[in-house]
Amino acid sequence: MTKAHAATQSDVARAAGVSRSLVSLALSGSPKVAADTRERIEEVAASLGYRVNVSASSLARKRSSIIGLVLPNLRNAFFEQIAASLGRAAAQRGLTLFVTVGSDQPEVLHQAVESLLGVRVAGIILVSPWLPGEDLLAIGEEVPVCVIGRRSPGGRVDSVRVDEAAAARLVADHLASRGMRTICYIGPRLTDAASRHDREGSLAHATRATGSAFEVRSCGEDAGPATRTALQDHSEPLGLVIHNDALAIDAVPVLRESRREPGVDVALVSYDNTYLALREEFSLTSVDQPEERLGECAVDLVCRRAGLTSDDGTQAEAGTGTEARSVVLEPRLITRASSLGR
């Protein structure tokens, strides 16, 4: 007779539609989990017949030389560049970077995180994660965590990001200096909601400080249609701010079709300053996020919280406290033909 499979926390997580880390936190009675979430998880656990495995939960995490990285996707050139910078920063400390790719689908993203926890990584770095703060807090209870490109939700989750308010001021002031009377921000419908909200709010505030009008439009994986509609709706000089370089390149052929003159009656600005922005056929004015510093700071925060030894043999200060640490870096605006004209 086949022995019945004993329910695991992963089974409970799949059934409840949450991360395994959140299940672990909820079933341990942590006050960091919302009451309704804990109740739902406990009900699912009971229905599956889950029982705590005391021997498994007592296993100590061995010291690891692997740092896990979770990227949202492989479509954005910035993610490629930040992965490379993280790899270099890890290698300088004698560490290995283990890369996984998440998704906008929660179950796929949870599986990516679980794969890293399964190999007992020393810490996890997530770039613009599509996870609610509650899930990030839960993962942070199991392993050192650092998020890049997003504010920390608190707890033991550290963060490294560019100062969005400063970036927005650079963008708004530049477009105002070019005579743009309206600024239209075009952001992807499917993205890390926390990051988009921060960028959108910062741009709105900075734009209004210049006296220009501000509006928001959403796009799919192609920013071309939203760009075309914005141009049709605004005959006055229009500043277009697109969420990242990968989307902004879709706007370039639309601008050419419109017969508007960049730097005169239209100006395009994007974010990330990737190799796409440098290409002559696009020549994008773009907010530079210093990926080398982002990578160095993220690896340093994980190492400090994990108490890992640095490459010179000194022991990093263990960050076992609950206070989240944030590093905010200054951006630069690199101006090119998309806003200056040729």
User: What mean pLDDT is reported for the chain?
Assistant: 87
Q: Which residues, in sequence order, are bridge partners of residue 160?
A: 148, 327
* Percent of the chain scoring above 70 in pLDDT: 89
Tell me: pLDDT of 191 over 70. Answer: no
Residue among 71, 104, 138, 78 nearest 286 (CA): 78
Mean pLDDT across 267-295: 97
The Cα 269–Cα 49 span in angstroms is 55
Would you place residue 228 in the very low, low, confident or very high pLDDT band (cuts 50, 70, 90)? very high
Predicted pLDDT at 3: 44
Helix boundaries (H) for 259-290: 275-278
- Cβ burial of 3 (10 Å; 0-12, 13-18, 19+) is exposed
Residue with the two structure tokens 């640095």: 310
Dump pLDDT digits (tens) for 9-23.
888 888 888 887 788
Mean pLDDT across 220-227: 94
Dump pLDDT digits (tens) for 296-312.
999 999 999 998 855 44
Distances (CA, A) of 188 to 148, 199, 222, 241: 18, 12, 9, 12
The Cα 117–Cα 139 span in angstroms is 9
User: Model-level pTM?
Assistant: 0.79
Domains, the chain:
9-57 (1.10.260.40), 66-162+290-329 (3.40.50.2300), 164-289+332-340 (3.40.50.2300)
C-alpha distance across the termini of the chain, in Å: 78
The Cα 311–Cα 313 span in angstroms is 5
Stretch among 59-73, 122-136, 190-204, 269-283 having the lowest mean pLDDT: 59-73
Give the full edge-to-edge strand order of the sheet including 326-329: 96-101, 66-71, 123-127, 145-148, 157-162, 326-329
Residue among 241, 243, 168, 236 nearest 208 (CA): 168
Higher-confidence position of 119 and 271: 271
Asked if 215 and 182 touch (Cβ cutoff 8 Å), the reply is: yes
Q: Which helix (H) or strand (E) segment is 186 a member of?
A: strand 182-188
Tell me: pLDDT of 106 over 60. Answer: yes
Q: How many beta carbons lie within 10 A of that of residue 153, not counting itself?
A: 19
Predicted pLDDT at 21: 77
Q: How many beta carbons lie within 10 A of that of residue 15, not counting itself?
A: 16
Asked if 224 and 254 touch (Cβ cutoff 8 Å), the reply is: yes
